Every structure is written in structure tokens, then in C-alpha cells.
Amino acid sequence: MAYTTIDDPSAYFTTKLFTGNGGTNAITGVGFAPNWVWLKRRDSSAAHYVWDTVRGAAAQLYPASASSEDANQTNGLSAFGSDGFTLGSDAGPNANSGTYVAWNWKAETSFSNDASSTSIGSIDSAGSVNTTAGFSITSFTANGSNATIAHGLGAVPQMIILKNRSISKFWPVYHHTLGNTKALFLDTTAALDTDNTYWNATSPTSTTFSLGTNSGNNDGNLHIAYCFNEKKGYSKMGSYTGNGDANGTFAFTGFKVAWLMVKRTDSANSWIIMDNKRNTFNPMGEELKAEENGAGNDATRWDQLSNGFKLKNTGAAVNADGGNYIYMAFAENPFVSSTGIPATAR
């Protein structure tokens, strides 16, 4: 049975549904002060938006686009709060009567690393970290050469989502099941690419991750990295093989899933995102795609179970026969709490 030190996953990750109002819109009820907010309109085609407390509220990035950061968008997310965030009048993230989903993560504690003083890494870095939940937001300025960057986790990251903020450049993704010579790209459907220069053919350590010369590592450019290490009963960065059957593959996570992102790696296909607030009963329905600005689509691809998820769809995006897939998942409830109380399926 899975044992966890996080009995209440909603203290570190939550999904918030809301309706836009076209003006000042205080979104509360998140349950904590979020450090990373990923927002998407559901009822119409619109961009994905990402904000974090390290870059600041006015700095927008777009997961479905290689575009550089919009650093002064004061009418997007105008402020982070103790129980959510406030949106301005920008119709993209806050259209009047539009329906939205916001995914929220807590990092909480500031950190900084002077590489020359600490001898950790080769580039200075700073950010926000939550070692309990295994999540850090790391900002640094690239040097155009092979480099190592302190991430603050105190544990080995299993997944890293990276973005060059200064120029239009892809979003490289490291996943531990794929190895240190391969990358996926959050803003495209592309299959797995092999190149030693993404991560300098070097796996992350408990103190640093490595960059080669082909991860947007342009000299003098600002970068942001979202780093995750697994926490038993709370988060999982895993993989599975599809079986092409409506009675599909089961993936054990050790918890009831609150949020799930899946990507096929051996063939071009979408980054499928599901959560337990848009989908409240099995089979889970509405999906969004990280690389696409389209509205939510009811695909009923999976069942939420007390200890993982089971594919209920033969679609190639999630369950092609023999297809290879990676995923990142966060918990609604651990399979077994620290007090031995089991979760239940829907």
C-alpha cells in the first residue's frame, strides 16, 4: 500500500473553475496562495496562460506557443492573493461569461544560489520551492554553453518543463523515463526527439539539472524552469504502454488522480489534460490539449480509480496498441493516508 506524508493534496495543488466577467475578477477558493497558475478557457478557442510569482504577476507565458514572455500584461493576471489571484480586463483569460479552468500549484519558499560561492551549478539561479510537495520554479540567465543550474528541490527532478522567456523558442520537456538524451516539446504534438544537446546527456541530480546548447540556451536570455520530483501518494511522473482496447491499460499512481497530463512519445500526438473538477464522474470526459488553443472536448478517455487511472478509449492520443506514453499526475486523495485510511473510487 502507498504511504504518504501528504494527506491533503489540495494544500499544494487544486483546480479552480470560474466564469469570466470582463473586468476586475478576484478568483478565490483556491485554498492556498498559488505560486504557479496555468489557465485555459473551456467554452471557446483561446490561449493557454501561465503566470508565476517568480517572474511576477504581469509576466505571461503561453504553453501552446513558442512566443517569448509578455512581461507587462497588467490586464491579465494583475495580482496573486492568499487564496487565489485577481484577473484584469483582458478578454483572453477573463472574457465576460466565458468559462475557465485554472490549475494552481504551491511553491511557497524563496531560494537563490550564487554558483560561484556555493560551487553548486555553473549558473546563478533563484526561485521558489516547496520541498514537501516536490515542486520548484527556477529562474536563470543562460550562458549559451553547457551548464548546470540549481533547482532547490533537494531531490532528483523526474520532470522539467523549460522555457526561454526572452525569444520565441520551443518548450523542452525532460521526463525521467525517457532519459537524458531525449526531449518532448509542450507547445507541439511532435514525437520524442533524440539529441545529446538538450540536457547535455546528463541526468538531473538532487541539486542541479543540466542544459546543453539546444534547449533554448541562448547567451544572456532569461529562462524559467518548472521542476517536479515525485512524492508518494501525491505526484507521479510515470509511463505506460497502450493496448488499443476500450478496456484499456491501467496505470498505478498510488492515489486518486486530481490532474493528469498524458503525451504519446513514439508518434506525434497531443498533450491531453484532464482534471477532477471539469470531470466529476466516470468515464472522465472533458479534455484540453496543452499545445492547442481549442475549447474543451468531451472524449471520455479514462476512469478515475482509487489508486490510479484506467484508459477507456482506443484513441491513439492515449491508448494505441503498443504506443508509448508518459504522464504527470497529481492527487485528489492518496490511496492510503498516513493514518491508514484508504481512498475510494468514483
Q: Please give the model's pTM, rounded to 2 decimal places.
A: 0.95
Q: Which residues contact 340 (CB under 8 A, 6 or more apart)?
A: none
Cell of 59: 509576466
Q: Is the model's pLDDT at 342 over the cut of 90?
A: no
Q: Give the pLDDT score at 314.
A: 85
Question: How high is the mean pLDDT of the chain?
Answer: 94
pLDDT digits (tens, 9 = 90+) for 39-53: 999 999 999 999 999
Q: Give the pLDDT score at 338.
A: 56
Q: Give the pLDDT score at 89.
A: 97
Separation CA 28–CA 90 (nearest Å): 19
**What's the average model confidence in pLDDT over 157-166?**
98
Separation CA 258–CA 9 (nearest Å): 9
Amino acid identity at 309: F
Separation CA 121–CA 40 (nearest Å): 35
Q: Are 281 and 346 in contact (CB under 8 A)?
A: yes
Q: Is the pLDDT higher at 2 or at 136?
A: 136
Distances (CA, A) of 166 to 35, 92, 221: 21, 22, 5
- The proportion of the chain whose per-residue pLDDT surpasses 70, expressed as a percent, equals 95
**What's the average model confidence in pLDDT over 139-154?**
97
pLDDT digits (tens, 9 = 90+) for 53-86: 999 999 999 999 999 999 999 999 999 999 999 9
Q: Are 223 and 164 in contact (CB under 8 A)?
A: yes
Q: Is the model's pLDDT at 188 over the cut of 70?
A: yes
Q: Is the model's pLDDT at 346 over the cut of 70?
A: no
Separation CA 318–CA 189 (nearest Å): 13
Cα 111 to the center of its chain, rounded Å: 20
Residue 43 dihedral angles phi and psi, to the nearest 5°: -95, 0
pLDDT digits (tens, 9 = 90+) for 282-341: 887 789 999 999 998 887 788 889 999 999 888 899 999 999 999 999 999 775 555 556
Q: Is the pLDDT higher at 285 or at 89?
A: 89
Distances (CA, A) of 198 to 20, 124, 147, 160, 184: 39, 19, 11, 12, 10
Q: Give the pLDDT score at 2.
A: 46
Structural domain spans, the chain:
9-105, 109-228, 244-334
pLDDT digits (tens, 9 = 90+) for 231-287: 999 999 999 999 999 999 999 999 999 999 999 999 999 999 999 999 777 887 789
Cross-strand partners of 342:
336
> What is the number of other CB atoms lying within 10 angstroms of the CB of residue 285?
17
